[in-house]
A and B are shown apart, each in its own frame.
Chain A
Amino acid sequence: MKAIDGVNLNVESRSFVVLLGPSGCGKTTTLRCIAGLEVPTDGKIYFDDRDVTGLSPSERNVGMVFQFYALYPHMSVLENITFPLRACRVPPKTIEEKVKEVVQIFQLKDLLKYKASILPPGDQQRVALARAVVRDPGVLLLDEPLSALDEKFREEMRSELGKLQKRLGITTIYVTHDQREAMALGDVIVVMRDGLILQVGSPQELYEHPNSIFVGNFLGTPGMNFVECRYEKGSLVLKGTSYRLKLERQDLIAHLVPYEGREVIMGIRPEYVHVDGKLKDGGLSLEVVAIEPAGRYRLIDFLIGEKVFRVRTDWELSLVPGRRVGLQMREDRLCIFDKESGRAVVS
């Protein structure tokens, strides 16, 4: 049973790469292989042009922040931070300088004398980061560092981390299962599942052009809507309704030629569906099933066939459950997926 299989990845210097995926997808294993804590059965790992596959973690010059920080509990914050420097017998003067830098960046001045184990999680995390960064590692590895924090704090730290990485310019690899974190922090997101890489790209690319149903569903809150359709001569017939969506986009039609008369899955994000009080002839009209307030917007649930279809809209229209409204989908944001494989036909 393979934890990861055929992972081929190029990470650009100074970039922030996020390994994203559900639990057990192999992202942490990949990270640990990069760190040197796990040895891949076969394959190679290169830092710049150096083959590090056989090297132990201490020879790779990486810094790592573990999910539960792994601070040395019996040592003070200062001792924790200086540990990597003392372990390499760095001269005391240099240690002082580096510590000053790091204390300034992470604002640890008041915490230095406290024992690491008694600090609250937020502070512990800053210390863990400081320790990882203090000796200027070539790569910074983070394993779900924010998962132990509560929501509000997590948001704060998210932006802090992003700014920090830009400032320090260290190549960073970040593991998480939280797609919002990934979208907010990553220059490049690597979506993984069951030990395989599904898609690699910038947050925008992945969001607007997912290459599979899984990626389309995984990113975005709420996720993409998927509707079963049949393609018939330039139109999509939504299953469970009588609505025919006539396609204008030439590239869509071109890609759908092989699917003539067959079923496909159409994907559209909730925010790209427009709700209209007036019902158009030949347009899609559905009955409101549920309304969920979400700050500035509302999430409206409809039913297409047996499945829930979610739309995000503002507060202009007065809606109650049971009211029939017209829906228009933005064709330029439409994605079509193969029903069997789940891969994108066009997106």
Chain B
Amino acid sequence: MADNDKKPGASPALVHSEEVLERFTKASDRVTMGRKTYGLSDRAFMFFFLLPSLFILLFLVGYPFITLIRSGFYNFSVLRAATPAKFIGVGNFTFILTDPFTWERFIFTGKFVILNVLVQFLLGVGIAYLLQKNFKGRSVVLTLILMPMMLCPIVVGLFWKYMFNTEWGIVNYILSIFGIGKVEWLARESISVYSVIIVDTWMWTPFMILLALAAFTAIPKYLYEAAEIDRASSWFKFRHITLPLSAPVLIIAVLFRMIDSIKAFDLIYTLTGGGPGSATQTLSFDLYKRAFQYFYTGEASAYGVILLLVIMSLSLIFIRYLNRLAAQNVRR
């Protein structure tokens, strides 16, 4: 029965033809569909609700992603979009991977990430441990501690840049009160890395604290009571009860910080601009340079793909470990 067979008002107005209904309804739905119903079945409803999200996913994520991968194989620049791009196969990839400068950036990023995450982990876990017990003013302290994380990264980078200013920055001023000479926080190559780490730590340790605290709080109190009766010292309890039982959450937190550190851009851009020289250029920053300063779009695309693969493989290692931990908890 085609739609055009129906004259308006001639029969109970089915919104869709039988064929359309067939596609969208299960047999059980069809039983109720025999009556006069206007509108869609549940299934169809669901489909149409999902449609906008699917569009967004497709066009804002899927399409650019595929374009990115494609661009990596071409000698292409957005500045010269008119001239047709030359297909150069894996040329971009080999160039990047054999460039000594890239490897310098790689090693630097590695050092930066490891140090950054380590400091944040130790600080975060330590502070969370201290915050476990309820004390007067605890909620105020917690709120204050979480504030740095809530700030806009660009703003954080900018005002720390002022604070770190060698001549008139407040940090050096406070140091001078203690008789310590001026420190070239952002101007000296050897120190600039640590300055970035300090700011990143200041901003993101609260994240670690939050997750660690949540993990610690989830551990049942009676385990600590049993340990107390078993004469365990505070350190023994921490090492054998707190840490192992909060390990899954801590690993996730470390993973997050690691990925974020590899991608670190906004703080570096505002604090040092990658400098002095190229002292604080992480892989992300290098990518930014190639893509938006030199406009080597093809090369940058390949770079992006490599970076993505690096992050994915590192994450996989963590996730594998997490799965192994979870599997051990299966009941006999």
Interface residues of A (CB under 8 A from B): 35-37, 56-58, 62-64, 66, 68, 70-75, 83-84, 86-88, 114-115, 117-119, 131
Query: How many A-B pairs fall under 8 Å by CB?
Result: 66
Residues from chain A with Cβ under 8 Å of B231 in the complex? 57-58, 84, 87-88
Smallest beta-carbon distance B49→chain A, Å: 41
B3 at interface by CB-CB < 8 Å: no
Residues from chain A with Cβ under 8 Å of B226 in the complex? 64, 66, 70-72
Residues from chain B with Cβ under 8 Å of A63 in the complex? 229
In the bound complex, do residue B230 and residue A83 qualify as a contact, i.e. CB atoms below 8 Å apart?
Answer: yes
Most buried by A among B229, B241, B328, B331: B229
In the bound complex, do residue B328 and residue A56 qualify as a contact, i.e. CB atoms below 8 Å apart?
Answer: no
A74 to B227 Cα, complex, angstroms: 14
A84 to B236 Cα, complex, angstroms: 11
List the 6 closest A-B pairs by CB distance, nearest first: A84-B230, A87-B232, A58-B231, A70-B226, A118-B332, A70-B222
In the bound complex, do residue B331 and residue A70 qualify as a contact, i.e. CB atoms below 8 Å apart?
Answer: no
B245 at interface by CB-CB < 8 Å: yes
Smallest beta-carbon distance A66→chain B, Å: 6
Residues from chain B with Cβ under 8 Å of A131 in the complex? 230
A144 to B288 Cα, complex, angstroms: 65
A36 to B226 Cα, complex, angstroms: 11
Residues from chain A with Cβ under 8 Å of B227 in the complex? 72, 83, 87
Interface string of B228-264 (1 = CB under 8 A from A): 1111110010001100110000000000000000000
Residues from chain A with Cβ under 8 Å of B328 in the complex? 115
Smallest beta-carbon distance A130→chain B, Å: 12
In the bound complex, do residue B233 and residue A66 qualify as a contact, i.e. CB atoms below 8 Å apart?
Answer: no
B313 at interface by CB-CB < 8 Å: no
Query: 7 more A-B contacts (CB under 8 A) besides A57-B231, A58-B228, A115-B328?
Result: A35-B229, A37-B225, A58-B229, A62-B229, A83-B230, A83-B240, A86-B236
Residues from chain B with Cβ under 8 Å of A83 in the complex? 227, 230, 232, 240
B81 at interface by CB-CB < 8 Å: no
Smallest beta-carbon distance A241→chain B, Å: 54
In the bound complex, do residue A87 and residue B230 qualify as a contact, i.e. CB atoms below 8 Å apart?
Answer: yes
A83 to B229 Cα, complex, angstroms: 11
A35 to B226 Cα, complex, angstroms: 10
Residues from chain B with Cβ under 8 Å of A75 in the complex? 240, 244
> What is the size, in residues, of chain B's interface with A at 8 Å between Cβ atoms?
22
A63 to B240 Cα, complex, angstroms: 19
B60 at interface by CB-CB < 8 Å: no
CB-nearest residue of chain A to B224: A70
Smallest beta-carbon distance A44→chain B, Å: 20
Smallest beta-carbon distance B231→chain A, Å: 4
Q: Which of the residues A57, A64, A72, A87 comes within 8 Å of B223, measured between beta carbons? A: A72
A147 to B108 Cα, complex, angstroms: 60
In the bound complex, do residue A118 and residue B228 qualify as a contact, i.e. CB atoms below 8 Å apart?
Answer: no
A7 to B67 Cα, complex, angstroms: 79
A75 to B226 Cα, complex, angstroms: 14
Smallest beta-carbon distance A151→chain B, Å: 23
B134 at interface by CB-CB < 8 Å: no
A245 to B59 Cα, complex, angstroms: 97
CB-nearest residue of chain A to B245: A74
Most buried by B among A62, A64, A83, A88: A83
A56 to B228 Cα, complex, angstroms: 8
Subset of 19 A-B contacts with CB under 8 Å: A35-B229, A37-B228, A37-B229, A58-B232, A70-B226, A72-B227, A72-B240, A73-B223, A74-B244, A75-B244, A83-B227, A83-B240, A87-B231, A87-B232, A87-B233, A114-B332, A115-B329, A117-B329, A118-B329
In the bound complex, do residue A66 and residue B232 qualify as a contact, i.e. CB atoms below 8 Å apart?
Answer: no
CB-nearest residue of chain A to B247: A74
In the bound complex, do residue A118 and residue B225 qualify as a contact, i.e. CB atoms below 8 Å apart?
Answer: no
B330 at interface by CB-CB < 8 Å: yes
A73 to B244 Cα, complex, angstroms: 10
Smallest beta-carbon distance A111→chain B, Å: 10
CB-nearest residue of chain B to A137: B229
CB-nearest residue of chain B to A67: B222
CB-nearest residue of chain B to A65: B226
Smallest beta-carbon distance B151→chain A, Å: 37
A56 to B230 Cα, complex, angstroms: 11
A56 to B234 Cα, complex, angstroms: 13
Smallest beta-carbon distance A179→chain B, Å: 26
Residues from chain A with Cβ under 8 Å of B332 in the complex? 114, 118-119
In the bound complex, do residue B245 and residue A118 qualify as a contact, i.e. CB atoms below 8 Å apart?
Answer: no
Smallest beta-carbon distance A41→chain B, Å: 20
Residues from chain B with Cβ under 8 Å of A74 in the complex? 244-245
CB-nearest residue of chain A to B241: A72
Q: Which of the residues B223, B245, B330 comes within 8 Å of A70, measured between beta carbons? A: B223
> A72-B223, A74-B244, A118-B331 are contacts. A57–B229 as well, Cβ < 8 Å?
yes
Residues from chain B with Cβ under 8 Å of A73 in the complex? 223, 245
In the bound complex, do residue B229 and residue A64 qualify as a contact, i.e. CB atoms below 8 Å apart?
Answer: yes
A252 to B230 Cα, complex, angstroms: 53
Q: In the complex, which residues 15-29 of chain B have their Cβ closer than 8 Å to any Cβ of chain A?
A: none
Q: Which of the residues B222, B240, B331 comes within 8 Å of A66, measured between beta carbons? A: B222
A269 to B33 Cα, complex, angstroms: 71
A88 to B227 Cα, complex, angstroms: 11
> A70-B223, A114-B332 are contacts. A87–B236 as well, Cβ < 8 Å?
yes
A115 to B223 Cα, complex, angstroms: 16
A60 to B220 Cα, complex, angstroms: 23
A83 to B240 Cα, complex, angstroms: 9
A75 to B233 Cα, complex, angstroms: 18
In the bound complex, do residue A68 and residue B229 qualify as a contact, i.e. CB atoms below 8 Å apart?
Answer: no
Residues from chain B with Cβ under 8 Å of A118 in the complex? 329-332
CB-nearest residue of chain B to A88: B231
Smallest beta-carbon distance A86→chain B, Å: 8
CB-nearest residue of chain B to A132: B229
Residues from chain A with Cβ under 8 Å of B240 in the complex? 72, 75, 83
A66 to B331 Cα, complex, angstroms: 22
